[in-house]
């Protein structure tokens, strides 16, 4: 059971914050009045009621909580790393109330029954969990899953994330078949032959570290193939965790003539570059790898011009044993839900992105990509808001996480802005 740090029984006013509706892209004047966890109305500054409690939001931004298109909770199979419950907690403290879950659990979510398992399991939590089904049975890349039945149970996309669909014929069938369900196909794009045993980006940095590197074209070769197939069969695809300049250029070019491709980038790919790996910090070992500054800049340009629609965490919990093994053998991935907004804000505010634009990468952007219907503050419905302090700076420590895992590359980094509270109905989650 997940319970807020504070339960907002009765009437509450969120007082003093700037309210921003990211779906209508406008500010709302006044204060939010909540009654027993439901949004009642917007009231003006002078509103007085003796029964009302004050929730001080002075100097903060109040907006819709975030939507993550790409998270890995490890249930079923590796509950030692993350359960749906611990993942939801991690999400709530990071400002998220909607999470799309990747299917690479043990076993992978590749049947309607497993989609139902995820949905049933998460019903009681104050987070909307939206499962993504596997493209192929057992994520083996060989045979399509029961996509129609999974969609019927609630799958909102398909992906073999973690493993690329190598076989172009299967990729074609996946894109072509899923067309009739109106869902995007998300392929983890890496040419496995070109990647071979690589553990980081190939550049002068991999040369200096003596680590086998994966060239940036490892990704763009497969993105290029997928775009061509997508165009050929007129389907809908989404490029996850885009990491290279070449991939951004391909997606940009494709989007000149088609709306049928979208893309996401992770906070770590826009915050770090491969020079950050110089101390062999295995928490920065991720797939696709963190690339050089030139690529990081291209990702930021991609966000600026709309080639990249949104920021998605690729939250990938691993236990300390797997991460503390030597760099070659440590697992790929880092957790991200609790640092996503702050790290992205830190990286993007430097590049002159407006706060509204940054919020859109966490709200409007992902809702459009996955066609998730969201409304900010509808009267009589459960209130869902996130409260952000843009002026707060904080240093990430291992104690900061609600996730069961601690594999964050941001530990030790000083980040700008902090999600101070997330409210879902009566439950209020407060970051100290």
Partner 1 sequence: MLSNKHFISLKDTPKEDIMKLIETGLSFREVLERPVKKVPTLSGKNILNLFFENSTRTKMSFELAEKRLSADVTNFSASSSSLNKGETFRDTVQNIQVMKIDCIVMRHPSPGSSLQLTNFVDSIIVNGGDGCHEHPTQAMLDVMSLYEKFETFKNLKVAIIGDILHSRVALSNIYALKTLGVEVTLCGPPHLIPIGIQDLGVDINYNVDEVLEWADAINVLRIQRERMGIGLIPSVREYREVFGITSKRIENLKKEIVIMHPGPINRGVELDGDVADSDNSIILNQVLNGVAMRMSILYHLLSEGDTIND
List, by residue number, the catalytic residues: 314
Q: CB nearer to partner 1: give 5 or 324.
A: 324
Q: How far apart are CA 291 and CA 273, in angstroms?
A: 5
- How far apart, in Å, are the Cα atoms of 287 and each of 126, 291, 338, 364, 403? 30, 11, 19, 26, 20
> At its nearest, how many Å lie between partner 1 and the CB of residue 104?
21
Lateral strand order in the sheet of 158-159: 158-159, 185-186, 237-239, 261-265, 310-311
Contact 341, 22 (CB under 8 A): no
DSSP code for 144: B
Distance CA 89, CA 403 (A): 7
Closer CB to partner 1, 203 or 405, in the complex: 203
Helix (H, G, I), strand (E, B) or coil at 32: strand
CB 155 within 8 A of CB 115: yes
**Of 118 and 198, which CB lies nearer to partner 1 in the complex structure?**
198
Using alpha carbons, select from 276, 268, 281 the residue that is nearest to residue 242. 268
Report the nearest approach of partner 1 to the CB of residue 90 (Å). Answer: 25
Q: How far apart are CA 161 and CA 397, in angstroms?
A: 29
Residue 261 C-beta: closest distance to partner 1, Å: 30
The DSSP-derived string for 59-99 is T-EEEPPEEEEEE---TTT-TTT--HHHHHHHHHHTTEEEE
Nearer to partner 1, 329 or 381 (CB): 329
Instruction: Provide the binding-site residues for partner 1, judged by CB under 8 A.
Output: 202-213, 215, 279-280, 321, 324-329
DSSP string, 161-200: TTS----HHHHHHHHHHHGGGT--EE-----HHHHTT--E
Minimum Å gap between C-beta 323 and partner 1 is 10
41 Cβ neighbours under 8 A, 6+ residues apart: 33, 379
Query: Contact 216/243 with Cβ under 8 angstroms?
Result: yes
Q: For the purposes of burial, counting CB atoms within 10 Å of the CB of 42, is it exposed (0-12), middle (13-18) or buried (19 or more)? A: middle
């Amino acid at each position: 059971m997940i319970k807020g740090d504070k339960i907002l029984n009765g009437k509450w006013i969120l007082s003093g914050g700037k309210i921003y509706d990211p779906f209508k892209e406008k500010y709302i004047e006044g204060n939010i009045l909540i009654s027993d966890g439901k949004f009642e109305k917007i009231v003006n500054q002078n509103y007085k009621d003796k029964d009302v409690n004050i929730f001080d939001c002075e100097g903060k931004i109040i907006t819709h909580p975030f939507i993550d298109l790409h998270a890995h909770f490890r249930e079923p199979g590796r509950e030692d790393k993350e359960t749906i419950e611990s993942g939801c907690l991690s999400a709530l403290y990071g400002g998220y109330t909607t999470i799309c879950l990747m299917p690479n659990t043990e076993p992978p979510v590749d049947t309607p029954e497993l989609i139902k398992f995820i949905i049933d399991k998460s019903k009681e939590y104050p987070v909307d969990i939206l499962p993504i089904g596997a493209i192929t049975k057992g994520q083996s890349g060989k045979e399509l899953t029961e996509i129609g039945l999974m969609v019927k149970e609630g799958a909102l996309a398909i992906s073999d994330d973690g493993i690329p669909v190598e076989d172009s014929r299967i990729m074609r069938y996946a894109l072509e078949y899923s067309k009739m369900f109106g869902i995007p196909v998300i392929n983890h794009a890496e040419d496995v032959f070109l990647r071979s045993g690589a553990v980081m980006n190939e550049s002068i940095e991999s040369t200096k570290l003596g680590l086998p590197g994966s060239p940036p074209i490892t990704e763009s070769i497969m993105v290029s193939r997928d775009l061509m197939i997508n165009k050929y069969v007129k389907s809908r695809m989404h490029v996850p965790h885009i990491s290279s300049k070449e991939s951004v250029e391909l997606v940009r070019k494709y989007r000149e003539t088609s709306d049928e491709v979208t893309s996401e980038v992770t906070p770590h790919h826009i915050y770090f570059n491969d020079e950050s790996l110089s101390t062999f910090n295995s928490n920065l070992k991720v797939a696709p790898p963190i690339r050089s500054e030139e690529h990081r800049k291209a990702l930021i340009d991609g966000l600026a011009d709309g080639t990249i629609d949104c920021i998605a965490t690729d939250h990938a919990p691993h236990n300390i044993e797997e991460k503390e093994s030597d760099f070659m053998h440590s697992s790929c991935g880092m957790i991200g839900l609790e640092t996503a907004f702050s790290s992205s804000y830190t990286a993007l505010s430097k590049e002159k992105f407006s706060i509204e634009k940054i919020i859109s990468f966490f709200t409007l952007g992902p809702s459009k990509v996955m066609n998730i219907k969201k409304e900010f503050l509808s009267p009589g419905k459960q209130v869902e808001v996130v409260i952000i302090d843009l002026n707060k700076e904080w240093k990430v420590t291992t104690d900061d996480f609600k996730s069961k895992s601690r594999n964050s590359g941001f530990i030790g980094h000083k980040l700008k802005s902090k999600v101070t509270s997330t409210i879902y109905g009566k439950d209020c989650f407060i970051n100290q």
